[in-house]
Amino acid sequence: MTTTDIRAAIYARTSSSGAQENRQNTERQVVSLTEYARLNGYEVIKTFEEHISGGKRNAERTGLLECLNYAKENKGTTILVSELSRYGRQIWEVLESIKFCVDNGINVYFQKEGLELFDGDKVNGVMAIYISCLSFCAEKERENIAFRLAQGREMAIQKGVKMGRKVGSIKTLDTLQNEYGHVIKALKRGHSVRNTAKICEVSASTVQRVKKAFCL
């Protein structure tokens, strides 16, 4: 490491299904980011890899949390990520991670987008616009899901479905909405069960369950 090198941590993520394929996928991300670091004056100090759906909440993604906390504790560390979607599939989860980085002065480089979170000591202007667009989309998505949830509740009640949840019973609509909002969105866009499962990185049975619960 030279005096001009910047410390970096790589974060690589892929879906939790297909172990061998996903291992190769994260390896490709790491190799590409390592090469980028070598060519751009970064020294990779630590690498974080995990195989988990991007639709999971940040609290369930230990690899991401470890990476963020590492960068927070080791000031001056830049996080290298292959693309923004590796941070998550749900917009509000991505925004939560980005807010954490902004609040703690952690720079992040998104390779596919060619964007850095910070430009010097200020948030990159282009990235700020990008974040604003994500925030707007997240708010509209929340509104849309809330509307669909209300419709789903009404239809379920009309069909005689009991609301609420007993211990050991199936998940409530509220729980499903919070956990699988990205699945609901994909189904509403007209994607098939199979395509939705692939896009959202969940099983087809999960998509079927969500589709049935919300009468989609």
Where exactly are the structural domains of the chain? 6-123, 141-213
Structure tokens at 112: 């596919």
Q: How large is the average pLDDT for residues 63-83?
A: 95
β-pairing, 122-123 vs 118-119, is: antiparallel
Tell me the C-alpha distance between 158 and 151, whole Å: 11
Amino acid at 108: V
Compute CA 1 distance to the chain's CA centroid, rounded to the nearest angstrom: 32
The CATH number of domain 6-123 is 3.40.50.1390: yes
Query: What is this structure's pTM?
Result: 0.64
Structure tokens at 214: 């919300």
> What pLDDT sits at residue 21?
57
More confident: 199 or 67 = 67
Query: pLDDT digit string (tens) for 168-207?
Result: 444 566 677 777 888 888 888 788 888 888 888 788 888 8
> Would the pLDDT of 209 be above 70?
yes
Amino acid at 204: A
Task: Output the CA torsion 188→196→149→95 (10° steps).
Answer: -100
Query: pLDDT digit string (tens) for 112-163?
Result: 889 999 998 899 998 888 877 876 776 676 677 777 777 777 776 676 665 5
The answer for residues whose C-beta is within 8 angstroms of residue 15's C-beta and 6 or more apart is 22, 51, 52, 53, 54, 201
Alpha helices in 60-203 (DSSP H): 62-73, 91-103, 125-158, 173-179, 181-188, 193-200
Distances from the Cα of 118 to the Cα of 18, 28, 100, 122, angstroms? 35, 25, 13, 6
